[in-house]
Amino acid sequence: MAQPKVYTDTLTYVLQKFEDGLNVVLTSKYNPFYYHGALPQFFLWVLFLSGLLLFAYYVPTIDNAYSSERLINAFTSVDYITNQIPFGAVVRGVHRYAGDAMVLTIVLHALRVWWTDRYRQYRWLQWFSGIVLLGLVLFIGQTGYYLVWDERSLVLTRMTVYAFDALPVIGPGLKAWFVNGEAITNLTLSNYLFIHIGLSFFLLFGLWIHYVRMARPVVTPPPVVNYAMMAILMVVVFMFPINMGQMAHLTQQPSTFEIDWFFLWPYAMLSSLDPIVFWTVMVGLTVFFSILPVPFLTSGLSGQTLQPIDAAEVVLSKCTGCSLCDKDCPYEAIEMVPAPAGSRFKLLATVLPYRCSSCGLCVGACAFDAIDLPFMPDAEVTNKIKSLLAQS
C-alpha cells in the first residue's frame, strides 16, 4: 500500500486538531465542520429571499427613459434600491455577500470531501454534479454583476463578448445568445435577468442530482448555526457597504473596475491572457477537477489508496422483502423489486453494486441474515457495528 505523503499527514493532523478544538468550544452539534454541505445550501436560501426583494424594484433596461422626470433604467433602479428604499442597501449587501459566502463555503465543502477522501467510487456523481454546480454558481454570480449596469457591467459584458468572439465555430452563436442579438440593447439586460434567475432555479435541479444518491444528506444547519452565519453576514454588510459606481454609457470604454475575487477572477485572468489560452485554462481546470475521482489519479493526489469494493449480496432464499435494509442504506444502493411469481413475499431486496460502499449497515439492519458482505461473515459485521455503536 502506498505511504501517505508527509504534507498530507501534517495537514490532516492540523485540520483534525482544529476540528477537535471547535468541538470543545462549540460542541459537535454546532461545529460548522459538520455542516460544510448544508452551509452553501443555507446561503442559497438567503440569496433566493434577498433576490426576490431586489427583483421587486429592478428594471432590466439600459435606455434612458424618463418617468415623472426620473430617469428609469437598470442602473437607476439599483440606485433607487440602494439609496431610497428603506433597508434596500442592506438587502443588496446581504444578496452580494451571501453570494460570496456561498462560493467560499462551496470551496471549503469541496476541499473537505476531497481531504477526507469522500468523493470517489460510489460518490463520483456527488463530486461531478458538485463541479457543475460550482460552475453554475460562478456564472450566476457573474450575471448578477452585469445586471447593475454600471461601468463594471459594461466592461464585463465587452470582455465576455471578446472571449466568445475568439472561439471558433460556437463563438458567434454564444455571443448572439449572450447579448440577445447583434449588439448590446435593452434585450441584453432582460437576457441577463432571465439567465440570472432561470439558472438559479436550475441550481435546485442540480442539487437534486447532487443529493439523489444520499439517503440522509445533511442539508440544514441547526438554527443556532444559521443565526451565527446571518450575524456574521450582517457585520460584513455594515462594515463594507456596497456603493454605486458610475452608470454605463455605451459610447464610453471604462478601463478599470473593482474586482470581486469570489466571482470575477476569470475576468482578471482574461485581462492578462490571450482569449484562446484563457479558454484552454478554464476547460483544462474543469476537466482536471471533474476527473479527480478517476481511480488512477486519486492515490497520487490525496496520498491514499483505493480499496476494492465488494458489494453486499442478498441471499434471496432468506429475504422477506421487509425493506429494512433499503431504509438503512446511506447510499440508496438497495432497491426493492417485485418478487418472482409464486414467492410468499411481495418484494425482494437487490443491491446495486456500483452504488454500494460495503459499509455493512444493511447487514446489521437485516433480522433474517439475508444480506452478506462477501469478504466478512454476517456475525463479524454485526459485532463490528455493535462495537462502533458502543464507542459513539
How many residues make contact with ligand HEM (CB under 6 A)? 24
Give one DSSP letter per residue of 178-192, joined into a string.
Answer: HHTSSS-SHHHHHHH
Count of C-beta atoms within a 10 Å radius of residue 60? 20
Cell 426493492 locates to 336
Q: Which is closer to ligand SF4, CB of 189 or CB of 333?
A: 333
3-state secondary structure (DSSP) of residue 371: strand
Count Cα neighbours of 366 within 13 Å in the Cβ-side half-sphere: 28
CB of 382 to ligand SF4, least distance (A): 13
Please report whether residue 134 would count as binding ligand SF4 according to CB under 6 A.
no
Please report whether residue 110 would count as binding ligand SF4 according to CB under 6 A.
no
User: From the list 13, 55, 65, 118, which residue makes contact with ligand HEM (rule: CB under 6 A)?
Assistant: 118
Contacts (Cβ under 8 Å, ≥6 apart) of 318? 368, 369, 370
User: From the list 81, 101, 103, 133, which residue makes contact with ligand HEM (rule: CB under 6 A)?
Assistant: 133
Question: Applying CB under 6 A, which part among 2-10, 61-69, 105-113, 139-147 lies near ligand HEM?
Answer: 105-113
C-alpha cell at 187: 434585450
Site for ligand HEM in 201-230 (CB under 6 A): 207, 210, 214, 217-219
Site for ligand SF4 in 319-358 (CB under 6 A): 319-325, 329, 331, 333-334, 349, 351, 356-358
Please report whether residue 381 would count as binding ligand SF4 according to CB under 6 A.
no
Please report whether residue 140 would count as binding ligand SF4 according to CB under 6 A.
no
Please report whether residue 355 would count as binding ligand HEM according to CB under 6 A.
no
Please report whether residue 113 would count as binding ligand HEM according to CB under 6 A.
yes
109 binds, among ligand SF4, ligand HEM, none (CB under 5 to 8 A by kind): ligand HEM
Contact 85, 53 (CB under 8 A): no
3-state secondary structure (DSSP) of residue 176: helix
If phi > 0 it is left, if psi is from -120 to 50 it is alpha, else beta; for residue 125 that is alpha
Contacts (Cβ under 8 Å, ≥6 apart) of 296? none
Please report whether residue 40 would count as binding ligand HEM according to CB under 6 A.
yes
CB of 298 to ligand HEM, least distance (A): 12
58 binds, among ligand HEM, ligand SF4, none (CB under 5 to 8 A by kind): none
CB of 378 to ligand SF4, least distance (A): 11
CB of 160 to ligand HEM, least distance (A): 22
Looking at residue 86, what DSSP letter applies?
Answer: T
User: From the list 58, 119, 149, 192, which residue makes contact with ligand HEM (rule: CB under 6 A)?
Assistant: 119
Question: Applying CB under 6 A, which part among 34-42, 264-272, 300-308, 342-350 lies near ligand HEM?
Answer: 34-42
CA–CA distance, 212 with 206 (Å, rounded to integer): 10
Count Cα neighbours of 150 within 13 Å in the Cβ-side half-sphere: 15
Burial zone of 333 (CB within 10 Å; 0-12 exposed, 13-18 middle, 19+ buried): buried
Please report whether residue 163 would count as binding ligand SF4 according to CB under 6 A.
no
Long-range contacts: 24-33, Cβ < 8 Å, 24+?
Answer: 29/222, 30/222, 30/224, 30/225, 32/221, 32/225, 33/112
325 binds, among ligand HEM, ligand SF4, none (CB under 5 to 8 A by kind): ligand SF4
CB of 20 to ligand SF4, least distance (A): 27
118 binds, among ligand HEM, ligand SF4, none (CB under 5 to 8 A by kind): ligand HEM
For the packed helices 6-30 and 88-115, what is the interaxial angle rounded to 10 degrees?
130
CB of 199 to ligand HEM, least distance (A): 12
Q: Which is closer to ligand HEM, CB of 104 or CB of 214?
A: 214
Burial zone of 370 (CB within 10 Å; 0-12 exposed, 13-18 middle, 19+ buried): buried
User: From the list 41, 160, 302, 320, which residue makes contact with ligand HEM (rule: CB under 6 A)?
Assistant: 41
Contacts (Cβ under 8 Å, ≥6 apart) of 138? 103, 263, 266
Q: Residues interacting with ligand SF4, by CB under 6 A?
A: 312, 314, 319-325, 329, 331, 333-334, 349, 351, 356-362, 365-366, 368, 370-371
